[in-house]
Structure 1
């Protein structure tokens, strides 16, 4: 993806979701800042930078098959980008383990994702 200051945040975030769902880490990292902080939903806390994100996603995919589909995008009052997403997690045999909606909150700086946090929806 060509990164530009004028890119629509929805397009940028949809690109990351598509890359994640396709298990294309390199494509996703193209639009994530090299020193980004990324929420670690499995173990808690944050992972840092491209290496941390790559390791986290690879570890996650080694024992589950998550698929995350954005259903709603908005910008909040603090300039962060909020995505409500439907998350379906399957085990490696294809059995559904969990279906729920989550909220991902992104900070984007200079056309790159600088951080991502997760807020569970009730």
Structure 2
């Protein structure tokens, strides 16, 4: 499985706000970090609700910079994350790692490493 291509498409779809396309890459029992409010959300419906809430308040853009495979098979993606408010004012500009694990060709978990 070409997980790097899958993840590049996931970021492209997220940035374009194509939520159904992003969810298609996620396992139905995905565990996804709620980097905005804290904690985790689980499953497609919780992820959808989280992102829809988020996009009503802030405008994040996340671009992958590099990919590396970890010993346990996870893929770490160094990302450049820019968060603006809905008026376009910069709230955050940072680089961090997103670490993915996969099950049956789909994202099973994602962890944010600062």
What TM-score range do you get, normalising by the shorter chain?
Answer: over 0.9
How far did 1:92 drift? 0.3
* Counterpart for residue 22 of structure 1: 16
Unaligned runs of 5+ in 1: 1-5
Which one of the candidate residues 60, 74, 77 is aligned to 1:66? 60
Q: Which residue does the alignment assign to 1:47? A: 41
Q: 1: distance between equivalents of 2:16 and 2:37?
A: 23
Distance in 2 of aligned mates of 1:9 and 1:35: 18
* Dislocated runs of 4+, deviation >4 Å: none
Which residue of 2 is the match for residue 118 of structure 1?
Answer: 112
- Normalised to the residue count of structure 2, the TM-score between the two structures is 0.97
1:83 aligned residue: 77
TM-score (normalised: structure 1): 0.91
Unaligned runs of 5+ in 2: none
Number of equivalent positions = 114
Residue matched to 2:25: 31
**RMSD across aligned positions (CA):** 0.7
Q: Which is richer in strand?
A: 2
